[in-house]
Structure 1
Amino acid sequence: MQSFKFSAKLSVLAIALLAFGAQMNASVAAQTEVAGNDHQALVKHYENLAKEAKVRLQENLEVLKEYEAHPYYFGRQGQDVRSHASANIREYEKALKENLDNADLHRRMAMEQNRDFTTAKTEHSGNKGL
């Protein structure tokens, strides 16, 4: 009976910690959000994500290169390491391309937004008498 009470308390504690962790992750995500119309900030955001993806891509390429050079170091798990690294490489290449495309898109949108802003500013600067 004692072990049942202990395991019940332990499971309640684990659920509470998981719920607290989920709330903390949501608050961190809310702090790092960028306004949808702040295209310069979005460019920086996507470029930072691309840099992170590139670093992880390089790490996985090194793992795969090491496996190809010395497969006997990895023993029975060698094929798992190889397939996992290959899958990670594909995902990080995809993420890198998507983030660079998004950064380019927002860079063009920021240039267009700046152009529209300066055009509107010069149109209204001559109406000082109104």
Structure 2
Amino acid sequence: MRAQKFLILISVLAFSLTALPVFAVEVEGIDDNNHAALTQYYENVAKETEAKLQKNKAALEEYEAHPYYYGRQGQEFKSHTVANIREYEEVLAESLNNADLHKKITMDHNNSAINKARVNLDPNISSIR
């Protein structure tokens, strides 16, 4: 009984370790430490999403102004467009948050409070001048 529980535990652990990299967010060949490039990427995603969002909002306004043009498929069109708008708003908010996060990380990295003075590690040179 213990051996069976142990075997199940080991197999679950092994599966979780192999599946863990699948859940990591990777951005199209951009290094995780290149926060300036990640900021630019997320800003581009936000711009593209904003364009799609505006297109769907315009389509919804057109439908609401002239619903009789759409016939029987009008309700499906409206619900689909509203769902797209909701999804694009979520993606836009997430992209802007990620861009802000990486921008702050870049600024913190560039303005770090670490003392960047040169350290002389040569014991032959006197430290008192």
The normalised TM-score by structure 1 is 0.69
Question: What whole-Å deviation, never above 9, does each CA across 1:14-71 have from its counterpart, x for those lacking one?
Answer: xxxxxxxxxxxxxxxx993210000000000000000011000000001100000000
Count residues in correspondence. Answer: 97
Give the 3-state SS of the residue equivalent to 1:50 in structure 2.
helix
Alignment of 1:1-130 (within 5 A): 32-116=28-112, 119-120=114-115, 122-124=116-118, 127-128=119-120, 130=122
Q: Which amino acid aligns with 2:35?
A: H
- Structure 1 residue 92 displacement after superposition: 0.3
Q: State the match for 1:16 in structure 2.
A: none
CA RMSD of aligned residues (A): 1.9
Task: Give runs of ≥4 in structure 1 deviating > 6 Å.
Answer: none
The normalised TM-score by structure 2 is 0.69
Give the 3-state SS of the residue equivalent to 2:111 in structure 1.
helix
The structure with more helix, counted as a fraction of residues: 1
- Taking every aligned residue pair, what percent have the same amino acid on both sides? 47
